[in-house]
Amino acid sequence: MGPSRTGAVLAALGVLSVCAVSGSGPEAERETGGDAGWAEPWDGAVFRPPSALGAVGVARKPGTPRLGREEAVDLPVLLWWSPGLFPHFPGDSERIDCARGACLASRDRGMWGDPRTRALLFYGTDFRASEAPLPRMGHQSWALLHEESPLNNFLLSHGPGIRLFNLTATFSRHSDYPLPLQWLPGTVYLRSAAPPLQERAEWRRRGYAPLLYLQSHCDVPADRDRYVRELMRYIRVDSYGKCLQNRELPTPRLQDTATATTEDPELLAFLSRYKFHLALENAICNDYMTEKLWRPMHLGAVPVYRGSPSVRDWMPNNHSIILIDDFESPQKLAEFIDFLDKNDEEYMKYLAYKEPGGITNQFLLDSLKHREWGVNDPLLPNYLNGFECFVCDHELARLEAEKAHAASPGDIPLPEPHIAQLSHLDCPMPTPGFGSVEEIPENDRGDLYHGDVGNDGLLEAE
């Protein structure tokens, strides 16, 4: 998500809904992953990509009236500092009810110096140190929401950058409010039926390759295009989008970025013809997994994946994706894909997770069951509202600890400040997608170091 897109995040989320963020309810009795009633969040008439944030609404219990200023005097304030990102409408401030109590969420920067303002909330893609509110108030926590790739803000991938913050919500399981499964609605999404092999064989006879590449954001730190270019020497790859393009999508409507998205049902049906999808993230970070990984699995294709080094921890079983880094060369990888392509029995082992009982990874099942937010789930808060309540609860606990210290300073110490750590993003230094740094020609454009954070529009812009 590029800097210019944050103002459009909320507008893209669809119809607003009111979300309760605490307490028990129907979700406690639902299937693991909170998806018993999950359905495709789009229809055939309106091409509306499912948002990782789900349906944004005011995070207050149903029936709770809006507060006037005089009623909110004693509530701690959470101030959204990032322009355009405030998950409440229509006013500048809203009461939120959370597990420990209530807070007031606001986007009114006039509240910055108010002693009631206990936390400033920043969206990572928008954060610029030069624009941070200074002097920093000693009683305020800084909270970071940065579920996107480190490509969007390299500052946060360095220790001094991430340690500016007290609380974090990132893709890393080690962050304070972890979001590693932000693109996975639930187990039903994974178990969606795959097209019959006979149907895919018929498409192959019509000239389609076994392997798909769909990418329009080129020259990223993961240097994925360099690897795919080498792989193309050993196996046929149908490449759509702007990067290494060698084929056009089948209809003018799908080719037009104004009329199609990556979740367009016609496009998804087309993509499902391929048995293998190249799924390469734009950055290599532990737990950073996007729709590039989950969508092929939803469609019943086998992801040929490079991205999160910890990806095995999250897979439905131990035999569901092909990891590029398991092969000593693109040629060896191509030989293995060709072997699976010609052996249906071996290929179908990679889709066993779609069968009853096929999802055997208890860590994945537990993570889906116990996460406090949902993806396109009307019965759960989205992670934006959930993060707000996490910060609210933290500040209420901190206030209680400060009051306890004030009442008995000799016996109860002040609470120590919580500081974010580098593991909250956990991204190693980039390396070439293929070969070594020494082998890269001097006139190379520099995929390894150039990363245009702009959004290319339609196809796989991340």
Which has more pLDDT, 198 or 435?
A: 198
Question: Span 149-162, mean pLDDT?
Answer: 89
CB 446 within 8 A of CB 223: no
Better pLDDT: 169 or 151: 169
The pLDDT value given to residue 86: 86
What pLDDT is recorded for position 34?
47
Task: Check residue 6 and give its pLDDT.
Answer: 44
Q: What is the pLDDT of residue 42?
A: 32
Q: State the virtual CA torsion across 343, 348, 349, 354 in degrees, nearest 10.
A: 170
Task: Read off the pLDDT band of 48 (50, 70, 90).
Answer: very low
**The pLDDT of residue 457:** 33
What is the rounded CA–CA span in Å between residue 350 and residue 301?
9
Determine the Cα–Cα distance for residues 344 and 197; give it in Å rounded to an integer: 8
How many angstroms separate the CA atoms of 308 and 317, rounded?
16
User: What would the pLDDT profile of 286-335 be if each residue is shown by its tens digit?
Assistant: 999 999 999 999 999 999 999 999 999 999 999 999 999 999 999 999 99
Can you tell me whether residue 335 is helix, strand or coil?
helix
Question: What does R_g of the chain's alpha carbons equal in angstroms?
Answer: 23
Measured CA distances, 176 to 2, 362, 394 (Å): 24, 22, 10
With residue 373 as reference, give the H or E element that holds it: none
Mean pLDDT of the chain: 82
Q: Which of 7-16, 129-138, 256-265 has the lowest mean pLDDT?
A: 7-16
For the segment 226-237, the average pLDDT, to the nearest whole number, is 96
pLDDT tier, 263 (very low <50, low <70, confident <90, very high otherwise): confident
**Global pTM value:** 0.81
12-21, 412-421, 429-438: which is most confident: 412-421
Please report the sign of the dihedral spanned by the C-alpha atoms of residue 226, residue 227, residue 232, residue 234: positive
Closest CA to 393 of 3, 8, 21, 15: 21
| Per-residue pLDDT, 8 | 38
Region 6-28: mean pLDDT is: 34
pLDDT score of 441: 64
Q: pLDDT band for 448, please (50, 70, 90 cuts).
A: very low
Are residues 262 and 402 in contact, defined by beta-carbon separation less than 8 angstroms?
no
User: What does the pLDDT read at residue 72?
Assistant: 60
SS3 386: helix
Most confident segment among 4-18, 186-200, 256-270, 365-379: 186-200
Token pair recorded at residue 47: 């091409």
Strands 276-280 and 302-306: parallel
So what's the pLDDT on residue 150? 84
pLDDT at site 20: 32
- Cβ 117 vs Cβ 77: under 8 Å: yes
Confidence (pLDDT) at 173: 96
